[in-house]
Amino acid sequence: MLIELFDLRGQYSELREDINAAVAESLCSGRYILGPRVRELEKTIAGYCGASYGVGVASGSDALFLSLLACGIRDGDEVITSPFTFFATAGAITRTGATPVFVDIDPGTCNIDPEKIKPMINVKTRAIVPVHVFGQMADMDAVVSLADKNGLVVIEDACQAMGAEHRGRRAGSLGHAGCFSFFPTKNLGGYGDGGLVVTQDERLAARVEILRAHGSPSKFVHESIGYNSRLDELQAAVLLVKFKHLERWIEQRNALARHYDQLLGDIVAIPLAMEGNRHTYHLYVIRSLCRDIIKTHLERNGIGCGIYYPIPLHLQKAYKHLGYKAGDLPEAERAAAEVLAIPLHPGLSSAEIEKIVQLVRDVAAQESGVRGQESE
Ligand SMILES: Cc1ncc(COP(=O)(O)O)c(C=O)c1O
């Protein structure tokens, strides 16, 4: 691959000295799980998001799962979410015993469409999990207002969106809890799994803390059956180093996205940033009816790209029992057929962007030629 979709090795080379020093210091400390570095990370990320509390957990998936449990979501409840997300969002809901109810997306942003939430609310509905997909927040004003009117919990799946903003407020700070993933490819990623819950609610934070440690509020005292979902010191040490660069990286991602927008806007659908939103471009996702041809052409020429997501969750085998069928959520299904993420990472040069754009143009030119011949 000449240009990878994610450039994790390049990022490590840039920060090698600082990361190696932080890892060595952590190894020498003799504290490896839930120690001072995890506490510092929890405070740092909560502060950055404009939240009062942060709780480090084993993954973004567990951040969602434990937040839902801490809010009392359980068997028999319904939780509204997007079908156009990584499986973990719905998987976390199902693991609590609740049923995910999928609501179609806004085709411009690929985030849940608040207009379509209202008709799905019934007596069993307990929560909404909006997903800030690709690094852009869902329409949280609308989601929170609906939730407030109906007495529902809001858990933000902000796994892809650390640093994103909606009308000046950061991802994670608008719902009852906000959930982040430190999966290596994320804008703030570790070297393994990790996640974090932020919240304004002290009691909710305390419940997540207890749940992540076998239901234990203090050593060898267990008030419930919890889980082992702890964050380790090595990940926290690495993340604290990387965090110092997060804002610069987000700004660079935005500058690169503007460059792509200018060069691609006339040949494919470019990602829409909703007015009042700060996008973080975890993924730069174009849409085209010729998506599969573009993908093949890019890959043949050494350019990494990926389909996020090829099968919307309501059509996954794992959710067959819920009874959805093709055509039920048409915008999510259309998106699944058209989206393609192309490389966008802070180290990408203008020449690399232009090369990628040229390859996309090749396909557009070829396809318009084919269509021209067909209509002759
Ligand atoms: C939208 C979304 N939700 C949840 C997750 C789960 O996070 P993790 O992989 O850290 O468990 C991810 C990460 O891939 C994600 O992108």
The pLDDT value given to residue 1:
64
pLDDT surpasses 60 at 278: yes
- Looking from the CA of residue 133, the nearest atom of ligand 1 is 1
CATH number of 245-368: 3.90.1150.10
Q: How far is the CA of 262 from the centre of ligand 1 (A)?
A: 30
- The rounded distance, in Å, linking the Cα atoms of 99 and 145 is 22
Centre of ligand 1 from the C-alpha of residue 88, in Å: 6
Look up residue 241 and give its two tokens: 């180093």
**Of 5, 59, 61, best ligand 1 pocket probe by most atoms within 8 Å of the beta carbon:** 61
Interhelix angle 350-375/233-264, nearest 10 degrees? 50
pLDDT of residue 367: 81
Write out pLDDT tens, residues 236-274.
999 999 999 999 999 999 999 999 999 999 999 999 999
pLDDT value, residue 366: 86
pLDDT band at 304 (very low <50, low <70, confident <90, very high): very high
Question: What digits encode the pLDDT tens for the residues 62-95?
Answer: 999 999 999 999 999 999 999 999 999 999 999 9
Termini Cα distance of the chain: 39
| Residue 207, C-beta contacts closer than 8 angstroms, at least 6 positions apart | 69, 70
**What is the distance in A from the centroid of ligand 1 to the CA of 259?**
28
Tokens of 69: 């449990």
| Alpha helix stretches (DSSP H) within the chain | 8-29, 36-49, 60-70, 88-95, 140-150, 202-211, 233-264, 291-300, 330-338, 350-375
Fold that domain 8-240 belongs to in CATH: Aspartate Aminotransferase; domain 2 (3.40.640)
- pLDDT given for residue 141 in this prediction: 96
Cβ < 6 Å from ligand 1: which residues? 59-61, 85-86, 88-89, 131, 157, 159-160, 181, 183, 193, 195
- State the average pLDDT for the chain: 96
Nearest CA to ligand 1 atom 7: 60
Percent of the chain with pLDDT over 70: 98
| Average pLDDT over every residue of 275-292 | 97
Query: What stretch(es) of the chain map to CATH 3.40.640.10?
Result: 8-240
Residue 120, number of CB atoms within 10 A of its CB: 14
Residue 253: per-residue pLDDT: 98
CA of 183 to the centre of ligand 1 (A): 7
To the question of pTM greater than 0.85 for the whole model, the response is yes
**Residue ranges of the chain that CATH labels 3.90.1150.10:** 245-368
Q: At 175, which helix (H) or strand (E)?
A: none
